[in-house]
Amino acid sequence: MDRRKSQPASPIPPTNVGLRDVAKAAGVSTATVSRAMNMPEVVSVELRERIATAIRDLGWVPHGAARALATRRSGAIGAVFPTLSHGDFARAAEGLQGELTAHGYTLLLGCSQYDLAQEYQLVRQFVEGGVDAIALVGTTHQTELTELLTRRRVPYVNTFNYDPLQQVDCIGPDNRKAMRALANHLIAQGHRRFGVIAQSVQNNDRAAARLQGIRDALAEAGLSIRPNHFTEGRWSIAEGRALFSTIIARNPWPTAIICGNAFLAVGAVLEALSRNIKLPGDLSIVGYDDVEIMRELPVPITTLRVRSDDVGRRAANYLIAALNGRRTDIALECDVEIVERLSSGPPRRRLAAGQHKAFVSGDEGPKRREL
């Protein structure tokens, strides 16, 4: 049972090699070694090579904390996401990390679980850890958080909730505009009764913006969401199913259901399929965010596509630019694209037969809505 790797104590070479050891070995001063690392072009080729050799021989690895202390730059950039396992945050984190690494920065990552207090704690931990800059999700944070960042002069960006009216920079899609466009699209197709499976607005300004976008579009068309047709969930497919069931339990049905995120939409569609409801003949369902499963389901789902990895990458570049004092020309708003698939279309059954796959289930009699 015991298989701890015992420290091979002795066979290990030098362990505490420092800059001075390298300098000594190369027969130069510590300053020169430092320069050879940070401004090579300023050191003569000969010395550079002698130093390189010494470094290799000694296996020296520079000490980050010491460098950070001296330069007042840690090379670390923090990011706090609500979560990594839902939505597109994992992709954004990957894009962010890739871009940071490409520029020699390192990523400190934290998940707030959609909790503003946790977000603040993480940011504080990062600041103490000495991050040079920070990326946040959304525009709503505890006031202590922004105060801390401002006082310590730590550059930061918000992400995933671009809003032209907002004072502070935020890189990402305009959730409100995007959902408004999607709702308008459905309205243009003739839909008048809308169901909504919203993402919980709790500590989630992106969700709030999306919901507002829907309301905007409906209001402009003189419509509104019946309380009966409004539900709220978080991210699971199971929730999407349950809330979908709730909505269609009331009469009359909406002709279109807008879901606040991808998983809720997947759940709604799967539940519709298992109830033998024809999409989009009987009902249209649309989502937000595009994940692979959405285009692979028996009835692929209409949704809004955001390049989340790009959000991460832009956030990285924004912060790096800020750190270099460069005025950033990075576009804050990220494009959103309506990806139209078979789960939505004009209401009633105006769709030509055979244009969509039908799903037949044996275990429940087909429920039909009243028209």
d(CA 306, CA 290): 7
d(CA 24, CA 22): 5
The CB-of-273 to its own copies minimum distance in angstroms stands at: 6
Task: Work out whether 148 is an interface residue with its own copies (CB under 8 A).
Answer: yes
Residue 276's CB: how many other CB atoms inside 10 A?
18
Using CB distances below 5 to 8 A depending on partner kind, what does residue 102 bind out of its own copies, DNA, none?
none
Task: Work out whether 265 is an interface residue with its own copies (CB under 8 A).
Answer: no
Task: Compute how many residues bind its own copies; rule: CB under 8 A.
Answer: 81
Task: Work out whether 172 is an interface residue with its own copies (CB under 8 A).
Answer: no
The CB-of-250 to its own copies minimum distance in angstroms stands at: 23
| Tokens matching residue 122 | 């993480």
Cβ distance to its own copies smaller for residue 131 or 218: 131
Backbone angles phi, psi at 111, to 5 degrees: -120, 130
List the one residue from 270, 277, 304, 342 that touches its own copies (CB under 8 A): 270
Task: Work out whether 110 is an interface residue with its own copies (CB under 8 A).
Answer: yes
Contacts of 148-152 with CB under 8 Å at 24 or more apart are 148/120, 148/123, 148/124, 149/123, 152/127
Cβ distance to its own copies smaller for residue 183 or 294: 294
Cβ distance to DNA smaller for residue 44 or 274: 44
Contact positions toward DNA, by CB under 7 A? 1, 3-5, 16, 18-20, 27-35, 37-38, 42-44, 46-47, 60-63, 66-67, 69-72
Task: Work out whether 109 is an interface residue with its own copies (CB under 8 A).
Answer: yes
Backbone angles phi, psi at 286, to 5 degrees: -130, 160
d(CA 264, CA 251): 21
List the one residue from 29, 38, 44, 101 that touches its own copies (CB under 8 A): 101
- Three-state SS for 277? coil
